[in-house]
Structure 1
Amino acid sequence: MPNGDRDGGPDNTRRTLLGLMGSSLLMLPSTTQASPEGGAPALPPRRPRDVGRKFWPDGRVKPFPGNTIICHLPQQGEHAEAFNALLDIYREAPAHAFSRKITLLPPSSYHATIFGGANDAERKPGLWPGTIPLDTPMEECNRLLGERLRAFKLECALPLRMTVDLAEPAAGEGPLTIRLLPVNNAEERKLRDLRDRLSTCLDIRAPDHDRYRFHITIAYQMDWLTAEEDGVFRDLLRQWKLGLRQASPEILLGAPEYCTLKDMFAFNRQFFLG
């Protein structure tokens, strides 16, 4: 721990707060947590949550081995309109100042997650299969979950039908996530039922299981935005989402894929769920 952080006294806290106040109006998360002792709220994190987890601070992708169930966006032929519209965002984003604080994902990785599996970094109850020991090697976990999923019956009509959520992102939600909504209540029930059955099959149930929001991630945030950068980003996001909705009123996805991954740049299909 650096020497300047050891005493934790009032003077040190005051210097830290003054430094934050003068730091070009960083767009830090809008929520703070009260300290366990009931004192002043804890300061927001210095970096977005995925820095040090999925990416290095300089923006390079970090190893994040695991498995997941996703639908890659169709990239060719019929139903590729959404992918092509996302490519336009990928082409334009580097022209804007906020892009130096994000890492754009390779377009080949674009997908909607149907159910998050297990990963090497989060070996804890709820996020790791309950019937597999926490110290099981990742490759063995991949194999065991693959065996279960080969026997899993999809039992739902395809394609999976989603649309772009045009709602304003929450304060503090950074670039660059495209939120999705099932196209109607019947599709919502179908997807939620599928997720419930996958949870039972894999014995994984994350704390946000019932609140999970479908999305397409096209970049991860490496640093907080200034007020000006955040304003530009939000204006652009409105335009981009409208353009995506116009190009592809419905985003049609085929059978979910069981994938393994080494990091966030590629999701390697093992097989389609059937």
Structure 2
Amino acid sequence: MPTTDTNRRTLLGLMGATVLMSPHAQAQPGDGAAGRGVATSKRPHDVGRKFWPDGRVKPFPGNTIVCHLPQQGENAEAFGTLLDIYREAPAHAFSHKITLLPPSSYHMTVFGGANDAERKPGLWPATIPLDAPIEECDRLLGDRLRAFTLDCALPLRMMVDPAEPGANEGPLTMRLLPADAAEDRKLRRLRDRLSACLEIRAPDHDRYHFHITLAYQIDWLTVQEDQDYRSALRAWKTRLRQASPLILLGAPEYCVMTDMFAFNRQFFLA
């Protein structure tokens, strides 16, 4: 007769063969499992944080500094291409594992502000009490930013990053790169100045990757779904690069949000 340990190993092996976890399994800070195809939690990081398990958007009040993509006029090619991707995405095998964002929300984050869910040093303004209402934080940061001088040449010039998504990067994100070294220095300097103004400095401040989020992942992808996702993303990146070799963005906007579906502009930084 097989031993109890043998039975346990057999059962675990069958479970591992049945439930396929995506290589995009998102590890938490300090977790060494990322990139090995092993899920570090039952659901992706933003389930229970920004989205409910069934994909509905969850309240996530806070503030941020973003550039919305131009939807009209001579710089609207990128938005038009992303709108086509929004139309096509539901036909893919991985689509039931993501929640697509409304195209009206498409933006590039310049600097993440504070939010009600992450009240900790580095992510919350240093001289605002950790228990201050988020509405008070919104107001105080708005006051600071009204007095902030942008001192930054416009437009911001970005381009699509053709690199494959990393092992811990869930669908569906369009990574962006500054158009050249000078643009990179300009954006990094702006982020440093905003960090000093708002007294916020996230752990990834110096490693921050610019991007446009099109959807949030609400469940892990199977191997086949992940292959479909990566193939589609490669084609979509190529199409976006061809339609808009440069993605030109105007003045950053101070926005407040109640969830991930809308970023409500309070004013442009000037």
Tell me if TM exceeds 0.5.
yes
Which of the numbers 23, 37, 45 marks the counterpart of 2:18? 23
1:33 corresponds in structure 2 to: 31
1:235 corresponds in structure 2 to: 231
The answer to whether the Cα contact below 8 Å between 1:27 and 1:172 also exists between their aligned partners in 2 is no
Which of the numbers 147, 164, 172 marks the counterpart of 2:160? 164
Query: Counterpart of 1:225 in 2: which secondary structure?
Result: coil
1:135 corresponds in structure 2 to: 131
Q: Say whether 1:155 aligns with 2:151.
A: yes
**Offset at 1:15?**
8.7
**Offset at 1:44?**
1.6
Distance in 2 between residues matched to 1:233 and 1:152, nearest whole Å: 41
Distance in 2 between residues matched to 1:216 and 1:132, nearest whole Å: 29
1:53 corresponds in structure 2 to: 49
| Equivalent residue letter for 2:266 | Q
Alignment of 1:74-153 (within 5 A): 74-153=70-149
Q: Aligned-residue CA RMSD in angstroms?
A: 2.2
**Offset at 1:249?**
0.3
Q: Say whether 1:252 aligns with 2:248.
A: yes
14-23 or 125-134, which deviates more: 14-23
**Offset at 1:43?**
6.3
Alpha carbons of 1:214 and 1:16: their partners in 2 closer, same or farther (altered >3 Å)? Answer: farther
Alpha carbons of 1:43 and 1:251: their partners in 2 closer, same or farther (altered >3 Å)? Answer: closer
The answer to whether the Cα contact below 8 Å between 1:59 and 1:222 also exists between their aligned partners in 2 is yes
| Equivalent residue letter for 1:141 | C
Q: Percent identity?
A: 72
| Equivalent residue letter for 1:126 | G
2:220 corresponds in structure 1 to: 224
Gaps of 5+ in 2: none
The answer to whether the Cα contact below 8 Å between 1:81 and 1:247 also exists between their aligned partners in 2 is yes
| Equivalent residue letter for 1:222 | I
Query: Counterpart of 2:166 in 1: which secondary structure?
Result: coil
The answer to whether the Cα contact below 8 Å between 1:258 and 1:270 also exists between their aligned partners in 2 is yes
Distance in 2 between residues matched to 1:15 and 1:127, nearest whole Å: 45
Distance in 1 between residues matched to 2:10 and 2:199, nearest whole Å: 47
| Equivalent residue letter for 1:149 | L
Q: Say whether 1:195 aligns with 2:175.
A: no
Distance in 1 between residues matched to 2:59 and 2:164, nearest whole Å: 32
**Offset at 1:17?**
4.4
1:38 corresponds in structure 2 to: none
Distance in 1 between residues matched to 2:112 and 2:18, nearest whole Å: 36
**Offset at 1:174?**
1.9
| Equivalent residue letter for 2:31 | Q
TM-score (norm 2): 0.91
Distance in 2 between residues matched to 1:47 and 1:130, nearest whole Å: 31
Pairs aligned (count): 259
